[in-house]
Amino acid sequence: MVDADPLFARRFIKMHGLGNDFVVVDRRAGAPAPDAALVRALGDRHRGVGFDQLVLIEPDDRADARLVFFNADGSVSAACGNATRCVARLLMDETGATNVTLRTGRGVLECADAGDGLTRVNMGHPMTDWREIPLAEPLDTLALPIDGAPTATGMGNPHCTFFVGDAEAVDLATFGPAHEHHPLFPERTNVQVAQVIGPDRLRMRVWERGAGVTLASGSSSCATAVAAARRGLTGRSVTVELDGGTIGIDWRQDGVHMTGPTAYVFDGVLGPAFPGAI
């Protein structure tokens, strides 16, 4: 049943996970879905609300909700770890439950209250076969034939991880887009530069496809942790230091578990004159 409130179709929530920020639109009661042009307008940090990704919460028959993700450029993404964690916290606070299930392009993900204000999401099994990521041709995903020999990993979205001596020294604003559009990645790719701090700690910075430099990325953290473990650089449980804070990644037999904080920033209503208001 559609909410009778005339403002309902223009309501949104602003959240972030370690500075990776989102606009959340709850469609469970029937609000219309934004098109790509409206997503881009909303994502404008000067004339809109501003976000790295927009997430729609939709009803689902077999999970507590279904999530649809958009990048700031209006393109669709099958996965967004930090946004999944934020919505999981939102729904747990709404219902008082300590766990929820959320359907994404990765399937149904199990989410739980991890205590101390943290939320854990099992992001599923990583994809390491070239066809699943996907790559444009059959290659060893552990070390791609690109300068720096990065590792390719799929977490529902493609990732390309470069291990470097000093993550701070990389000009990510130039390095990121140069590799996001590399011909080996037909669907573009997220790009990470990661520095090994110790056997259980990584420093990582990220360029997200369709969004640019972000303070954090949950799926990128998962992919980087998997890549580091596959290359023997760390164990399978690590803390990842991001520009926006730290996140815990634990690659277990049942999937890659991501644990971190979330923040509910504010809720709002788009003005009636906003272009194509939802």
d(CA 164, CA 169): 9
- Is residue 8 scored above 80 in pLDDT? no
DSSP state of 10: G
Coil/strand/helix, residue 129: coil
pLDDT in tens, 144-188: 999 999 999 999 999 999 999 999 999 999 999 999 999 999 999
Coil/strand/helix, residue 250: strand
- Is residue 69 scored above 80 in pLDDT? yes
225 in Cβ contact with 238 (< 8 Å)? yes
Helices 81-95 + 218-230 axis angle, to 10: 120
Instruction: State the fold for domain 151-253.
Output: Diaminopimelate Epimerase; Chain A, domain 1 (3.10.310)
CA quadruple 228, 105, 50, 189: dihedral positive or negative? positive
pLDDT bracket for residue 276 (50, 70, 90)? low
At position 63, the amino acid (one-letter code) is A
d(CA 227, CA 195): 12
Coil/strand/helix, residue 255: strand
pLDDT of residue 33: 85
Alpha-carbon distance values, 77 to 68, 74, 106, 172 (Å)? 8, 10, 11, 21
pLDDT of residue 9: 61
**pTM of the full predicted structure?**
0.92
The token pair at 248 is: 């815990």
pLDDT of residue 2: 38
pLDDT of residue 277: 64
At position 175, the amino acid (one-letter code) is F
**pLDDT, mean of residues 35-64:** 94
In the chain, what is the straight-line distance between the N-terminal and C-terminal CA atoms, in Å?
Answer: 17
Coil/strand/helix, residue 13: strand
Which carries the bigger pLDDT value, residue 105 or residue 83?
83
CA of residue 170 relative to chain centroid, distance = 22
Alpha-carbon distance values, 167 to 7, 163, 198 (Å)? 45, 8, 14
- What number of other Cβ atoms are within 10 A of residue 131's Cβ? 9
Partners of residue 96 on adjacent β-strands = none
The DSSP code sequence of 27-47 is -TT-PPPP-HHHHHHHH-TTT
Sequence ranges of the chain with CATH classification 3.10.310.10? 8-123+262-269, 151-253
**pLDDT, mean of residues 16-29:** 95
**pLDDT, mean of residues 210-214:** 93
202 in Cβ contact with 234 (< 8 Å)? yes
pLDDT of residue 217: 96
pLDDT bracket for residue 1 (50, 70, 90)? very low
| CATH code linked to domain 8-123+262-269 | 3.10.310.10
pLDDT of residue 3: 44
Q: What is the mean pLDDT of the chain?
A: 94
